[in-house]
Amino acid sequence: MCSEKRKCIIAEDNGLNLAFTIAHEMGHNMGVNHDNDHPSCADGLHIMSGEWIKGQNLGDVSWSRCSKEDLERFLRSKASSCLLQTSPQSLSSVLVPSKLPGTAYTADEQCQILFGPLASFCQEMQHVICAGLWCKVEGEAECRTKLDPPMDGTDCDPGKVSHAGCLA
């Protein structure tokens, strides 16, 4: 972003998990190191862990204290001034979606994105949908998950939609 060597990300589109990959790589672009580089933060539970195991701690898909310190150091440095530079053209080309993605893709369709055309939402896991989207693949006995939450806007409880948890 602000450096000739740190302005590009190439990532495989592997479904909803791509959001975590983008957050991790954007962290690198802003000078955030792996948590494993800081002994006090090498617990493997945060976005910048080099060994982060998705779902090991569902409530902690966040930045570690060390990542926050690295980011703050970058933002206080002269190098961050590039974030203030915008071209008039870039400001007019930002498109904001008019609706949340979960209103465009049902839980069944999200399961198909994650696991293929034979997948559908696993109804018996409805009670934990905001923590992770569970899917039933035709021909398999057990429901499966990649431990990604559903897209924001997905119906989760009667009268509620997901948005970083279930909201009324």
Choosing from 4, 25, 138, 140, which is the catalytic residue?
25
Structure tokens at 16: 């909803």
Has 38 been labeled as part of a binding site? no
Please list the residues that pair with 134 across neighbouring strands.
145
Distance CA(88)–CA(97), nearest Å, equals 20
- In the chain, the largest separation of any two C-alpha atoms, in whole Å, equals 57
Q: What is the DSSP string of 148-162?
A: PPPPTT-B-STT-EE
Q: Alpha-carbon distance 63 to 69, whole Å? A: 10
65-76 vs 18-29: helix crossing angle, rounded to 10: 50
Q: Annotation-wise, does 127 bind a ligand?
A: no
Contact 16, 151 (CB under 8 A): yes
72 labelled catalytic: no
What is the rounded distance in angstroms from the CA atom of residue 165 to the CA atom of residue 148?
Answer: 12
β-strand partners of 137: 119
Say which DSSP state 133 is in: -
Which residues does the annotation place in the binding site? 24, 28, 34
Which residues does the annotation place in the binding site for Zn(2+)? 24, 28, 34
Enumerate the active-site residues.
25
